[in-house]
Amino acid sequence: MVNTILKEADLFCPNSVRINFTIYHMTINAIDLFAGCGGLTEGLEQAGITVKYAVELDPRISKIYEGNHHKTIMINSDIRRISDDDFRRMGHVDIVAGCPPCQGFTQMNRNNKRRAYSDKRNILIEEYLRAVKIIKPNFIMMENVPQIIYYDRFNSMLEELKEIGYSIDFKEINVKDFGIPQSRRRLVLIGALSHDVDFPFRMNTPVKTVRDAIESLPKPTDSSDPIHRIHSNHTPYIQHIIELIPKNGGNRKNLPKKYWLECHKKANIGYSDVYGRMFWDRPSPTITGGCLSPSKGRFLHPTQNRSISVREASILQSFPIDYYFDDKCPKTILAQMIGNAIPPKFAKIQGLYIKEMIENED
């Protein structure tokens, strides 16, 4: 298989080493755990990596994954039901990649550990580690919310990986520093058995903005794309409030006080971004599972009197403009799968980084 690696630009590394991606021939196989709708897979495939297997629990989401990645074998199952022997039968896999569901970690800090640790989703990090220990890939990738560093099981996982022989690098980054038109802070982890790992903090590329990403799209009512026509509908009262919010970055605090909710009238109440418009010339805020609801954050279009559409949300996550989503799927599920995805462009950069390490070894 011939893989063409694009020169993604030069990466700024802490040790000032310049990484240049070149063209070479090889096949690298990966498995995508907790695959969702395929953001990680899309990025790895854009980097020329073959994703042999994917694991996704939700059948609705796995169907959307399959609609975009026909050659990958989808395992629509709870990862806990995949046996050790099943993992062994997958054959040679170079990269085990995945993002264990992070909702249980999102609000984690030193003050709410007990509540956060009791979240059942947190134990899925154990399944990620189990897959790595059985498959023994040359490389591992994991992405999650930065708060995971406060989870004791994450730190013990790091120790186990180092005992196995992995060189580990993990750090908090913001994807806007890698050319994604979104401010999204994440913890990224890359490990390797035979390489020292030092993934860069940022990429030497101009910051991409909401304007760069979605200004050229037609209005949803004028679009032939059924996914772009999906956005939130509101009562006449809420629609009127949206129309009053100033264009290009206004929020609820700009409304006449008679439109303020009682809870917003209290002193020191945060969440000023709710019912906020995005700024044209900044990256978008973090695209979350609530990205179609203006009551969940700054998710109103900069100038049009509506929330962003499903297609706009996916583009701000760096999915291709023609990425398949099922327009018959509930809006809440579409928003959830897009908000939970790893931005494909960022996954591509990680994939290219791994390929560069392999090329240097060869």
Residue 299 in this model has a pLDDT that exceeds 50: yes
Domain harbouring 293, CATH code: 3.90.120.10
Provide the token pair at 214: 């979605």
Decide: helix, strand or coil at residue 220. Answer: helix
Provide the token pair at 92: 């040679």
- What domain range includes position 289? 210-339
Domain harbouring 13, CATH code: 3.40.50.150
Cα gap 237→245, rounded to integer Å? 13
Rounded to the nearest 5°, which phi and psi values hold at 129?
-65, -40
Query: Same domain for 16 and 159?
Result: yes
Query: Same domain for 233 and 221?
Result: yes
Query: Same domain for 278 and 315?
Result: yes
Query: Same domain for 224 and 172?
Result: no
More confident residue, 240 or 259: 240
Per-residue model confidence (pLDDT) at position 59: 96
User: Angle at Cα 287 formed by Cα 284 and Cα 292, nearest 5°?
Assistant: 105
Query: Same domain for 227 and 202?
Result: no
Cα gap 308→95, rounded to integer Å? 35
| Structure confidence by residue, pLDDT tens digits, 261-286 | 666 666 665 566 789 999 999 999 99
Question: How many domains does one find in the chain?
Answer: 2
Q: Burial, 7: exposed, middle or buried (Cβ in 10 Å; 0-12, 13-18, 19+)?
A: exposed
3 state SS for 78-133:
CHHHCCHHHHHCCCCCCEEEECCCCHHHHCCCCCCHHHHHCCHHHHHHHHHHHHHH
| Structure confidence by residue, pLDDT tens digits, 35-88 | 999 999 999 999 999 999 999 999 999 999 999 999 999 999 999 999 999 999
Query: Same domain for 171 and 250?
Result: no
Rounded to the nearest 5°, which phi and psi values hold at 127?
-70, -35
| DSSP bridge pairs for 24 | 3
| Structure confidence by residue, pLDDT tens digits, 210-258 | 999 999 999 999 999 999 999 999 999 999 999 999 999 998 888 877 7
Query: Same domain for 172 and 94?
Result: yes
Counted residue by residue, the chain has a size of 362
User: Angle at Cα 189 formed by Cα 321 and Cα 315, nearest 5°?
Assistant: 10
User: Angle at Cα 96 formed by Cα 116 and Cα 285, nearest 5°?
Assistant: 50
Residue 191 in this model has a pLDDT that exceeds 60: yes
- Name the band, by pLDDT with cuts 50, 70 and 90, for residue 359: confident
Query: Same domain for 320 and 217?
Result: yes
Query: Same domain for 6 and 89?
Result: yes
Query: Same domain for 284 and 347?
Result: no
Query: Same domain for 236 and 103?
Result: no
Residue 108 in this model has a pLDDT that exceeds 80: no
Query: Same domain for 82 and 161?
Result: yes
